[in-house]
Amino acid sequence: MIGRAIAELAAGPKTPEAIDAFFATHKFPIVDGNAITVVWRGGAEAVHLKHWVFGLPSSQQLARVDGTDVWHLTLQLPFGSRVEYKLEVVRNGHGEWMQDPLNPNIAHDPFGGNSVVHGTGYVAPSWIQHDPTVASGKLDEVTFDSPTFGRRGFGVYVPARFLQSRRYPLLIVHDGHDYMRYASLGTILDNLIARLEISDVIVVLTSSPDRLREYADDERHAKFLTEELVPFVERVFPIDARPQTRCLMGASFGAVAALSTASRYPGFYGRLLLQSGSFAFTDIGDRNHRGPLFDPVVAFMNRFRADPAPVSERVFVSVGMYESLIYENRSIVPLLQSTGMDVRYVEARDGHNWENWRDRLREGLSWLMPGPFLHVYE
C-alpha cells in the first residue's frame, strides 16, 4: 500500500525542488485517516521500520520512490493508536538504529527514546501537561536501613497542601523514579489532586538495583516492602494506615512484584494498580517461552492460577493491545474477578511503554484512590 502523499510525489517531477517542497509541506509521519506513512530521506542500501507492535512483523522494509532518495512505508493503524518505533538505516552492510529525524515526537525511556506516531484519534491527555495554576507537590529522597537489603533509598512525594495534622493514603510505586521521569507521574499527581479526581496522597517511589530478580516473586522483596518500608514510612509520615488506603503499583515486572507481594501479605494492600504485568504462565510444563528470567514468575503465576485468592480489595489492570503480554493480562482478569476482588480492566491501542502506562494513570488512580470529585458540587 502506498500513501496518498507518496503516490502524488511519485507521480510528479522528481526534481530536488519538488522533493524539497514535499518535505516542506508535510508533517511526518504522514497521518491520513488510518494510513500512517513513515518517511526517511537519504542515501542507504535499505531502511527498515522497527517497532514493537505484537501481531505485526517487527521489522518492515521501507520502499524507495524511484529516482529519489525518499524512502516510505505506509501502515494501517486502528483509530486511537499510539505506536513507538525506530528506523534502521543500512549503509555499507551495517544497520544503524535511530529515531526518525523527521518526527519531533519522542518518548523517553531508560534505554533512550523512541519516535512516536500518534494515529488518528489518539490525543495526549490534558492532565499530563504541567499546569502553572496547579500547586506542585514536594519531592524528597529518603534513605533507610533495611534488614533485608541494607541501605536503600526511595523517593517521597507529598501533596501540595500537605498538613502534618492530616492522615494520608499511601501509594507505593515500583520503579517510581522511572514513573516520574518517563510517565510524568509528579505532574499527573499534582493535576489529578487539583481536579479532586484523586485524594491527596503520599507516594513512595521505589527503585531496585536488581529488579528482574527482586520483582520476580522474591520473598525478600515482599518482606522489604511490607515489614520494613511501609512501617518506616508510617512512622515518619502521617499515613492513614488501612488496607483501603494503601495501594501498591507497578508496570511490567513491577506489576508482578505488586501482585506477588500482595499475595504474600493478603489483606495488607487493599488497592493494586497493575500495568502491563509480565504475568507469564504455562498451561502445561513449567518453562515459558520467555526465558529463564521468567521462571520464578511462571512458578508464581501457575500457583496463583491454580488457587486464586482475594489478596486485595480492588485491582486495576491495564495493558496495551499491541504488546505481547496482552494474552497474559487478558487471562488474569477473570481469575482475579473469580476471587471476589473488585477488578477493572482497561486495554489501550498502545504498547509496552511508559507513555501507555502514563495515559492510564488517571483512570486507575481515580478509581483506586478517588478524590472528592463525586462529593463536590460548587
Partner 1 sequence: MSTVVLLGPQGETPDIGPALAEHGIAGKVALITAGLQDRESDDAALVAALGGVSAVNLKLHARAADVFDKDPELAAAYQARQLRFRNIQSFYRVRLEKADEAARMISVRYVEPELLEQEDRVSVDQLRQLDVDHLDRCIAIRQAYEARWNRDRPAIAGHRAELASELETCNAIVIAGGHVASLFNRIRLFDVLGLAAGKPVFAWSAGAMVLADRIVLFHDYPPYGSDIAQVLDAGFGLAPRVVVLPDPKRRIRMDDKAGIARFARRMLPASCVAMDHGARLVFEDGMCTRAVAVRLGIDGSIAQSGAA
Q: Which residues bind partner 1 (CB under 8 A)?
A: 192, 195, 197, 342, 344, 346, 362-364, 366-367, 370, 372-378
- Smallest separation, CB 362 to partner 1 (Å): 5
- Measured from the CB atom, the residue of 94 and 375 that comes closer to partner 1 is 375
Query: Please, what is the minimum distance in Å from the beta carbon of residue 137 to partner 1?
Result: 17
CB count in 10 Å sphere of residue 125 = 15
State CA 14 to chain mean position distance: 42
* Cα dist from 183 to 88, 108, 322, whole Å: 26, 9, 18
Q: Which is nearer to partner 1, 184 or 261 (CB)?
A: 184
The residue assigned the cell 530478580 is 213
Q: Pick between residue 307 and residue 378 the one whose CB is nearest to partner 1.
A: 378
Which one, of 297, 227, 291, 224, lies nearest residue 260 by Cα? 297
The beta strands (E) that lie in 216-306 are given as 246-251, 271-275
Question: Whose Cβ is closer to partner 1: residue 7's or residue 346's?
Answer: 346
Q: Least distance in Å: CB of 169 to partner 1?
A: 12
Q: Which is nearer to partner 1, 295 or 313 (CB)?
A: 313
Chain centroid, CA 200 distance in Å: 23
Q: What is the DSSP string of 262-285?
A: HHHSTTT--EEEEES------SSS
Give every strand in the sheet of 271-275, ordered side by side: 138-146, 150-158, 202-205, 170-173, 246-251, 271-275, 314-320, 342-348
Q: Closest approach of Cβ 352 to partner 1, in Å?
A: 22
Least Å from the CB of residue 198 to partner 1: 8
CA atoms of 48 and 165, how far apart (whole Å)? 58
CB of 351 closer than 8 Å to CB of 323: yes
Q: Provide the minimum distance between the beta carbon of 247 and partner 1 in the complex, in angstroms, as a whole number.
A: 14
Closest to partner 1 by CB, 14 or 166:
166
Nearer to partner 1, 303 or 344 (CB): 344
**Least Å from the CB of residue 342 to partner 1:** 7
22: amino acid identity, one letter: F
